[in-house]
């Protein structure tokens, strides 16, 4: 096989491993999103997630509290992994095309 084929194949393998790694990290990450509810002059955050077709609201804390910041950070990290996985999948699509052309 050509040098180009080897290079593309190596990247193909790396991207597959990378997507697998992001899948694992996303599965281990906190699920759901933050939901803000206002009660009088106060605002409270809840973690909203789906469980058996039902949406569960789990109380986290007052707006600006360390607990809310902690949850927000974890959710942001999951979003980042999802974004990276999306980018890797797009790259993999391109690499597949190149791989087919190189055979």
Partner 1 sequence: MQQYDNVELFESILKDFDDNGILEDFILIGSWSLRVYSYHFQNDPQIPIVATQDLDLLVPNPPEISREVDIPLLLRKYDLEEEHSFLDGLSKFVSPDFEVEFLYPDNGRGNSKGKNIKDFSIIATPLRYMSFIQDNSELMEYKQFSLRVPLPVVFVLMKYLLVKKRKPGDAEKISKDISTAKDLEFFLLENGKQDDFLFYFKKMPEKWRKNLFKILTENESDLVEVFKDIK
Distance CA 24, CA 20 (A): 6
Which of 39, 86, 84, 29 is closest to 59 using CA atoms? 39
In sequence order, the β-bridge partners of residue 37 are 44
CB of 99 to partner 1, least distance (A): 15
Nearer Cβ to partner 1, position 23 or 63?
Answer: 23
Binding residues vs partner 1 (CB under 8 A): 3, 6-7, 10-11, 14-15, 17-18, 21, 80, 84
Nearer Cβ to partner 1, position 3 or 103?
Answer: 3
CB of 103 to partner 1, least distance (A): 16
Nearer Cβ to partner 1, position 7 or 34?
Answer: 7
């Amino acid at each position: 096989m050509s040098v180009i084929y080897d290079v593309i194949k190596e990247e193909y393998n790396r991207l597959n491993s990378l997507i697998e790694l992001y899948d694992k990290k996303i599965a281990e990450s906190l699920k759901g999103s933050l939901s803000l509810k206002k009660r009088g002059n106060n605002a409270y955050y809840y973690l909203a997630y789906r469980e058996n077709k039902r949406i569960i609201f789990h109380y986290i804390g007052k707006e600006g509290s360390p607990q809310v910041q902690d949850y927000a950070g974890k959710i942001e990290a999951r979003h980042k992994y999802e974004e990276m996985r999306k980018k890797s999948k797009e790259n993999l699509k391109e690499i597949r095309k190149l791989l087919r052309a190189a055979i």
